[in-house]
Amino acid sequence: MGILEAAACALPAVATDVPGSRQAVEHGRTGFLAPACSSASLSETMGRLMSLSATQRHTMGRNGRRSIAERYSLERVLDCWEEVYRRQAPTMRKPPASVRDTEWQRQRIAR
């Protein structure tokens, strides 16, 4: 979550190359991924980010912010939820006719 928050704040990130981080950081574009289980590699990768020019870090941060805006906008999240419901609808049991009729009547009265 912290990696996504950093990207939302337009900050480049350094993370280990593990599931989750791998999906959040685009290596070389929004930050850097270091090999997992190696503190030396993580340290080197952090140094690599710090050695970039301010312009390069700013560009990486902007790329991260743009990626978050595209992947997690309200419209995008709602589209994903709608797709989940659409896929589940055919497999869901329909309520008995008596329940459907009651619901239909309730909706009709509410209008």
Contact 14, 38 (CB under 8 A): no
Angle at 60 between CA 59 and CA 64, to 5 degrees: 115
1-71, what's its fold? Rossmann fold (3.40.50)
Q: Choose the weakest-confidence range: 21-35, 75-89, 97-111.
A: 97-111
pTM as predicted:
0.70
Task: Return mean pLDDT, the chain.
Answer: 89
CA torsion, ordered 17, 21, 25, 27, to nearest 10 deg:
10
Confidence of residue 22 (pLDDT cuts 50, 70, 90): very high
Query: Tokens representing 39?
Result: 């503190």
Closest to 9 (Cα-Cα) out of 68, 49, 50, 72: 68
Q: What is the average per-residue pLDDT within 92-103?
A: 61
| DSSP assigned state of 12 | -
Confidence of residue 100 (pLDDT cuts 50, 70, 90): low
Sequence ranges of the chain with CATH classification 3.40.50.2000 = 1-71
